[in-house]
Amino acid sequence: MMRNTIKTHSLKLLCLAALSLLVTTARADVRIDDPWVRATVPGQSASGAFMRLTSSEPVKLVSASAKIADTVEVHEMSMADNVMRMKQVPALDLPAGKTVELSPGGYHIMFFKLHSQLKDGDTVPMTLVFEDAQGKRNSVDVQAPVRPLTATMPMGHGGMNHGAPK
């Protein structure tokens, strides 16, 4: 009798523990800071979004979508020997607690086949999908303000205020 109770008890505890584990990992907390989208001119069919991502648990950004564009992809820009290269990144790793920047010079989200012009002052709603280590996906909605096409650097960086030249 006693044994059964303990067994049931243990089983219940185990179930509870497993459940809470599931709940914890399914709820990776991803912080999205300073999102913005570059404005476009009429007829321009692509643009980019930038932001800072920080996740409490290790996750990957696996996809993104937005009503304003047919396709949304994550891209990485790299400069080598004065040549700019861009390539699609199928999944962007966000290590636990580490801020990953999507900013000019590195990663960005690309919008292809925009349905309309993006004007400075507009807001672009988009959805980011993150996948945790267990393969569980979590969608996060973002409202990204549109900044001028001519914006040089995201806020917090100095365009002309660099230190001594390299």
Partner 1 sequence: MKKMMTPGAAHGPIADLSTNPLRRRVLLSLAAAAALPLAACGRDGQLKNVRGIDLTDAKWAADFSLKDPDGKTRSMADFKDKLVMLFFGFTQCPDVCPTTLARAAQVKAGLGADGSKLQVLFITVDPERDTPAVLKAYTTAFDPSFLGLYGDAKQTTDTAKAFKVFFQKVPTGSSYTMEHTALTYVFDTHGQLRLALRHEQTAAECLSDIRQLL
CB of 22 to partner 1, least distance (A): 31
- Asked if 26 touches partner 1 (CB under 8 A), the answer is no
Between the alpha carbon of residue 158 and those of residues 31, 34, 88, the distances in Å are 24, 16, 28
Binding mask 40-79 for partner 1 (x = CB under 8 A): -xxxxxxxx---------------------xx-x-x-x-x
In the block, residue with structure tokens 């523990």:
17
Distance CA 134, CA 131 (A): 8
Euclidean distance between the first and final Cα of the chain, in Å?
A: 78
Largest Cα–Cα separation, the chain: 79
One-letter amino acid for residue 68 of the chain? I
- Asked if 86 touches partner 1 (CB under 8 A), the answer is yes
- Asked if 2 touches partner 1 (CB under 8 A), the answer is no
Binding residues vs partner 1 (CB under 8 A): 38, 41-48, 70-71, 73, 75, 77, 79, 82-88, 104-105, 108, 110, 112-113, 149-153, 159-160, 162, 165-166
